[in-house]
Amino acid sequence: MKTLRLAEVTRDNVGAACDLAVAPHQEHYVAPVARSLAEAYAQPEVAWPRLVYAGDDLVGFVMAAFDPGCPIDYFRCGIWRLNIAAEHQKKGYGQFAVEAVLGEARRRGAESATVLWVPGEHSPGPFYRKLGFQPTGQVHEGEVVARIRL
């Protein structure tokens, strides 16, 4: 198996990052990488965007948020986006990315992390539940709020 790693977005890889695409039936559930990077640029003190590599192959993108002072508790620490390229799904790359974010959250002293998802037939909800995230009963703009204790 290829070595998995996260890498920062740079001028050398940003084009490839923006070309990364999820499966067509998933497009309703996650914003494109380009939008995520625009949001990260607008909030550099909060956003933590990273590319997911398997060896030298770009296979995904993950963006976390770390904002301990946020008045909305479920936006203090969590996963904002997870995009695994359509041709690289079901290989453990998404799980690796989530576990890497949770590791960074622990390193920063967080006690829990959150993720939000849009419910539906192709929702990532089952994926996050399998990793240990539990719905809190809260809903934010139609998205399920889920939390995992670290």
In a domain, 146, yes or no: no
In a domain, 133, yes or no: no
Q: Kindly report the CATH number assigned to the domain that includes residue 80.
A: 3.40.630.30
Give tens-digit pLDDT for 32-74: 999 999 999 999 999 999 999 999 999 999 999 999 999 999 9
Helical segments of 1-136, H only:
14-19, 33-42, 93-107, 125-130
pLDDT of residue 70: 92
Residues 11/16/19/24 CA torsion (nearest 10 deg): -130
In a domain, 120, yes or no: no
pLDDT of residue 2: 87
In a domain, 53, yes or no: yes
Mean pLDDT of the region 100-119: 97
In a domain, 144, yes or no: no
* pLDDT range class, residue 1, cuts 50, 70, 90: low
What is the span of the domain harbouring residue 30? 4-110
In a domain, 90, yes or no: yes
In a domain, 83, yes or no: yes
Tell me how far apart the alpha carbons of residues 150 and 127 are, in angstroms, rounded to a whole number: 18
Task: Provide the domain count of the chain.
Answer: 1
Query: In 10 A of CB 102, how many CB atoms?
Result: 21
pLDDT of residue 141: 94
Is 0.85 topped by the overall pTM?
Answer: yes
The token pair at 134 is 């539990």
Whether 142 has a pLDDT exceeding 90, the answer reads yes
- Please state, in angstroms and as integers, the Cα–Cα distance from residue 125 to each residue in 48, 63, 85, 129, following that order: 22, 17, 18, 6
Helical segments of the chain, H only:
14-19, 33-42, 93-107, 125-130
Mean pLDDT for all residues in the chain: 96
In a domain, 131, yes or no: no
